[in-house]
Structure 1
Amino acid sequence: MNENLTLSEAFKQTTYPLSGHGPRSIQVLKEALEHIDGNLDSDMYGKGKVIEDFQEKMAGVLGKESAVFFPSGTMAQQIALRIWCDQKGLKRVAYHPLCHLEIHEEDGLKELHHIEPILLADSNRLITLDDVCNMNEDIACLLLELPQREIGGQLPEYSELEAISTYCREQGIKLHLDGARLFEILPYYQKSAAEICALFDSVYISFYKGIGGITGAVLAGDVDFTKESKVWKRRHGGDLISLYPYIISSDYYFEQRVDKMGQYYEDAKELATIVNECHGVNSKPAKPVSNMFHIHFAVPKEKLEPVLFSIYEATGLGIVGYLTKIDETSCYSELSIGDRYANIPTEAIKNAFQMLDEKMRAMI
């Protein structure tokens, strides 16, 4: 393996990368389009059979009256919060300190919509009912992310979720679900998507994360809410003349993978057990609650990278494609189990993690 490669490049060149469904190449679109009649009319500015049928389908899956397809979740969620704030006449919402809107969107909610976020809970734990009840400020909407990605994909107990939903409805607070990975948590909760979404006034789901499409999102709620979201979608420039490549790939990979989420979840738990047997390595959560979890290493990033290079070259198994520094003595990465995992020989996984265990013992 070329020593000048980055960790990401080295990971991609391994025979058996652990995470994901496969490379995000043009083949993703080609495969999705292979079964489509070339004479099918495209959507036009948010109208047409291809988009309307898919929106109706996803509304049914989510148990909501209506759904709207968006080119991005960033657009969809900012719009959802804007609608709820306008409805209440209060430009203040609450969400987790590591919410996507807070750390990945260049303050879009604040700069574009002039909405003030209230950050609930500590950054290393989930929002609880107590956090919601003890807010000092009035808010129009509370956003909950399930699972909470930046802290390892953690989830609240379902009873806690129900209690938060009940409280919000009693207090006139709209509850919005950041369900980018909604389908990935169904095996843990043993609930349908519609059952979980029934606790929320509005819901966003993604089609490029666990589903593995090109891009795209759906925002769902009651008819008045989605009607207003279409106006804001136009204002945001989200009504492209055609979105069918995204819609078709979203539908195709949804059908391919939604029923595999249970297997991905079982695979993630199996892998986490192997991870936690390594010296100085642990998964967060200790037992995954979805197909995604974080893997923590008790050595600094700079010290671990050459070790991973050697493991990749010796075993052909790619453990992670990047490392994020925690402090001077530790780092972490994210693993998201998909189609790839089932094709990896057990022996390759065993050899790679045995080698990792040995090298970690030598370093700590």
Structure 2
Amino acid sequence: MGNQNPLLDAYKNAKYQVTGHGKRDVSVLLDSLSIQTGQEESDMYGSGHIIDSFQEKMAAYLGKESAVFFPSGTMAQQIAMRIWCDEKGIRKVAYHPLCHLEIHEEDGLKELHHIEPVLLADANEIIKLHNVVNMKEDISCLLLELPQREIGGQLPTFEELQVISDYCREKGIRLHLDGARLLEILPFYKKTAAEVCALFDSVYVSFYKGIGGVAGAVLAGPKDFTETSKVWKRRHGGDLISLYPYILSADFYFDQRVGKMEEYYEGAKELATLYNECEGVRTLPITPVSNMFHVHVQAPKDEVERIFADTYGESGVGLTGHLRENGENSCFFEVSIGDNYSTVPKSNLKQTFTLLNKKLKTRTLV
């Protein structure tokens, strides 16, 4: 049987898919295992050469004293907030209203750690210095997500980050980076990961988003911070007997893709230009600042689904498999550029957008 989503079926059946790195199936793990000799011993309960060497590699890359591998970013970030709150004795942290901790974790921070969030900035805007300065509450930590995914992957300027960092250090507020997509923003900032992370006391990085590994994350910061995080990792059940399938795939795809982030970024800007030339379509941001952005279409979701599916069938190029409503006569979707984009012939891509624009224009004339 199908998946009861005709648009997703049409996307999967298209000869080319524009977004991502390809199917998330067992081949993601098999490819990373193919270069292994099978002689190295497994990690066990958070220790061993496999996990130690990867943690050291990531600490050096991020410019931090130490790093710890976690099975999930959700676990890593809640633990980071707990450590900083315990340090200062204030159970309040500040972050954006659409932060992952606020909208995707079933109130884990509140229920598990009894930490109260202070929501900064309007939901549709990024956090800026004046939001931080004008806070009424005392907090232990400020969390910044770069890029801010739920509003199209928007970013503050590096200069804005610098002044926020300086202010937090002056006031004794810990600054934590939700860097799930840290690698993807480096081309825009024209900075190294270490240069960005130097502004923050702690940082989390994901290995299944832009990197495309199976799962997993690292939490990096000062040695005493990461040693404490290991205790909390054990308390959370994060010390599985072995994490090597996640670590090996993370390491393999990190090496494969860390040098491609500029290519993905340029692809995102090119694709956004094509979308913005279509009737009733606008991207957020208009010019992407990473490999991801949102596409908003001024038409009902069910109608756009039919138009997109028909376009895929004619052109053989799939643009997205999922749309979300954004009001009665509007919908949107997220785009994330990876290895797939370079496999789509430019002539096919141009034909796809010519067809799409024609169908959207025809719709407005009916």
**TM-score tier after normalising by the smaller chain length:** over 0.9
Q: Secondary structure at the match of 1:124?
A: coil
Structure 1 Cα separation of the partners of residues 31 and 314 of structure 2: 33
Contact 2:6 2:309 in 1 (8 A): no
Instruction: State the number of aligned residues.
Output: 363
Contact 2:55 2:67 in 1 (8 A): yes
Structure 1 Cα separation of the partners of residues 277 and 28 of structure 2: 35
Structure 2 Cα separation of the partners of residues 13 and 251 of structure 1: 31
**Aligned pairs (5 A) from 1:87-98:** 87-98=87-98
Contact 2:3 2:9 in 1 (8 A): no
Contact 2:94 2:118 in 1 (8 A): yes
Give the letter for the 1:143 counterpart.
L
Taking only aligned residues, the RMSD between alpha carbons, in angstroms, comes to 1.0
Evaluate the alpha carbon distance shift between residue 306 and residue 40 of structure 1 in structure 2; reply closer, same or farther with a 3 A threshold. Answer: same
Give the letter for the 1:94 counterpart.
A
Evaluate the alpha carbon distance shift between residue 164 and residue 16 of structure 1 in structure 2; reply closer, same or farther with a 3 A threshold. Answer: same
Structure 2 Cα separation of the partners of residues 5 and 327 of structure 1: 20
Structure 2 Cα separation of the partners of residues 88 and 217 of structure 1: 25
* CA shift digits 1:43-84 (9 cap, x unpaired): 000000000000000000000000000000000000000000
Provide the residue aligned with 1:324 in structure 2: 324
Provide the residue aligned with 2:44 in structure 1: 44
Provide the residue aligned with 1:258 in structure 2: 258
**Structure 1 position 153 matched with structure 2 position 153:** yes
Provide the residue aligned with 2:199 in structure 1: 199
Structure 2 Cα separation of the partners of residues 261 and 241 of structure 1: 33
Structure 2 Cα separation of the partners of residues 71 and 46 of structure 1: 11
Give the TM-score normalised by structure 1: 0.98
Structure 2 Cα separation of the partners of residues 281 and 337 of structure 1: 18
Provide the residue aligned with 2:351 in structure 1: 351
Structure 2 Cα separation of the partners of residues 4 and 131 of structure 1: 44
Structure 2 Cα separation of the partners of residues 10 and 302 of structure 1: 14
Structure 1 Cα separation of the partners of residues 57 and 83 of structure 2: 23
Q: Secondary structure at the match of 1:68?
A: strand
Structure 2 regions of 5+ residues with no counterpart?
none
Give the letter for the 1:284 counterpart.
L
How far apart are residue 9 of structure 1 and its match? 2.7
**Aligned pairs (5 A) from 1:93-104:** 93-104=93-104
**Structure 1 position 114 matched with structure 2 position 114:** yes
Provide the residue aligned with 2:32 in structure 1: 32
Q: Structure 1: which 4+ aligned runs deviate by more than 6 Å? A: none
Give the TM-score normalised by structure 2: 0.98
Provide the residue aligned with 2:170 in structure 1: 170
Structure 2 Cα separation of the partners of residues 77 and 7 of structure 1: 34
Structure 1 regions of 5+ residues with no counterpart?
none
How far apart are residue 157 of structure 1 and its match? 0.6
Provide the residue aligned with 2:289 in structure 1: 289
Q: Secondary structure at the match of 1:361?
A: helix
Give the letter for the 1:194 counterpart.
A
When structure 1 is superposed on structure 2, of 279-288 and 233-242 the one drifting more is 279-288
Structure 1 Cα separation of the partners of residues 139 and 293 of structure 2: 31
Structure 2 Cα separation of the partners of residues 300 and 78 of structure 1: 38
When structure 1 is superposed on structure 2, of 303-312 and 130-139 the one drifting more is 303-312
Structure 1 Cα separation of the partners of residues 229 and 330 of structure 2: 43
Sequence identity of aligned pairs in percent?
Answer: 63
Provide the residue aligned with 1:301 in structure 2: 301
